[in-house]
Amino acid sequence: AETRNVCTAGYKGIRQDGQYPSRDYLAALNPDFAGFVEKIDGPLVALGERAGGLTAAAAAWTGLPAGIAVAVGNVDAHVTAAAAQALEPGRLVAIMGTSTCHVVNGTELAEVAGMCGVVDGGISAGHWGYEAGQSGVGDIFGWYVEQAAPDGYASHETLTEQAAEQPVGAHGLVALDWWNGNRSLLVNHDLSGVIVGLTLATRPPDIYRALLESTAYGTRMIIEAFAEAGVPVDELVVAGGLTGNRLLMQIYADVTNRPLSIIGSAQGPALGSAIHAAVAAGVHADVPTAAAAMGRVTRDAYLPDPERVRAYDALYAEYRRLHDHFGRGGDDVLLRLRSIRNAARSAAVPAPAGEAALPLEVMA
């Protein structure tokens, strides 16, 4: 029987207070959305519960025994909290890869600026699960290496090694991490990246380090938004592919001034799925018990250095000024540039091979 879970219903279906958005509200967004709820409504069960047993047909497809427990569905980022032993309130999990998803449990319902959702039981039963995110992180570093770094610097290893040799602030740069827009706190995907402080003395490792730091500043903005709304964040637990960059991890610990723990699995979502499946199969009584037995984490793998924390506080203050200036109505230049770019691209008409492109008015 088709079964749905509270995590997906809340974060993806916008179900809260026992109901989905009204048909009128959805139709106002787009007439084709009016019947959305009818398509997804159905029985909801908590994470880690059994959806049913494997059918004979599915057993034949997979080679698994018929009738074994099938856990209810979930979302990759949210199951990672169990895999990282971070279900307790105050432990924010940052799943860092091409982008970053931030999830944290809280004891109370609060409205956090720029959050991507808050769901009762969305991460684990008995807590309010909060989600925020950054729409570009590893993708920004990859863009620089693949598209902008000159010969001799086109590798993350080379740039990281040279960037690590710098004292905090030595490059004189501050960047805004909006290469793919801003998810939290501004929720504006038309924003774009900014680097301030470039001079003729600026070198590739300077820019690379400034980009690393910019994403840490963005995470600090999210942490402070949670704290201001009454959702404390005492520890940062990191999962995902970017945990392999030790410089980046230390920057995050110093910028956020919080101990940084590292998940002990390279496949956090897969381990989290196994934890929930173990509960569905009756191996463990509940998800916290299974997480304690099966989860893996190295606590306090990176600790903030007081001197670097002070140096980053000064740079973060400049980041916040730029963030508010370009993102909160001080200057809409980034949006105007996006509009100019979009207009120019829509006006361009590809010419047939071997022919020069003509302006639209000439073609007309």
Is residue 69 a part of any domain in this protein? no
Q: What is the pTM of this model?
A: 0.92
Convert the pLDDT of each residue in 200-249 to its tens digit: 999 999 999 999 999 999 999 999 999 999 999 999 999 999 999 999 99
Residue numbers of the domain that contains 274: 76-346
Distances (CA, A) of 95 to 83, 92, 270, 314, 362: 11, 10, 13, 27, 51
Within-domain flag for 134: yes
Position 2 scores a pLDDT of: 84
Residue 269 has pLDDT above 80, yes or no: yes
Average pLDDT score, the chain: 94
Asked if residue 56 is part of any domain, the answer here is no
Alpha helices in the chain (DSSP H): 6-11, 23-29, 36-40, 56-62, 76-83, 138-143, 156-163, 204-228, 246-256, 268-280, 287-294, 306-327, 333-347, 360-363
pLDDT at residue number 348: 81
Query: Residue 317 falls within a domain, yes or no?
Result: yes
Give the pLDDT band (50/70/90) at residue 363: very low
pLDDT average, residue stretch 20-39: 94
**Distance, CA of 326 to CA of 324 (rounded, Å):** 6
Instruction: Examine the pLDDT at 352 and tell me if it is beyond 80.
Output: no
Residue 357 confidence class, pLDDT cut points 50, 70, 90? very low
Q: Is the pLDDT of residue 100 over 70?
A: yes
* Least confidently predicted of 65-69, 145-149, 346-350: 346-350
Burial of 277 (C-beta count, 10 Å sphere; 0-12/13-18/19+): buried
Say how far apart CA 232 and CA 68 lie, in whole Å: 40
230-239 residue pLDDT tens = 999 999 999 9
Residue 237 sits at φ, ψ, to 5 deg, of -115, 125
- The answer on pLDDT for 356 being more than 80 is no
User: Is the residue at 110 inside a domain?
Assistant: yes
207 belongs to a structural domain: yes
Question: What pLDDT, on the 0 to 100 scale, is given for residue 105?
Answer: 98
**pLDDT digits over 143-185, tens only?**
999 999 999 999 999 999 999 999 999 999 999 999 999 999 9
| DSSP bridge partners of 5 | 45
Q: State the pLDDT at residue 358.
A: 41
Residue 361 has pLDDT above 60, yes or no: no
Alpha carbon distance 130, 118 (integer Å): 4
At 43-55, the pLDDT tens digits run 899 999 999 999 9
Establish whether the linkage from the previous residue to 185 is cis, with ω within 30° of 0.
yes
Domain count, the chain: 1
Per-residue pLDDT at 331: 86
CATH of the domain at 280: 3.30.420.40
For the chain, the first-to-last Cα distance in angstroms comes to 59
Q: Mean of the pLDDT values across residues 113-134?
A: 95
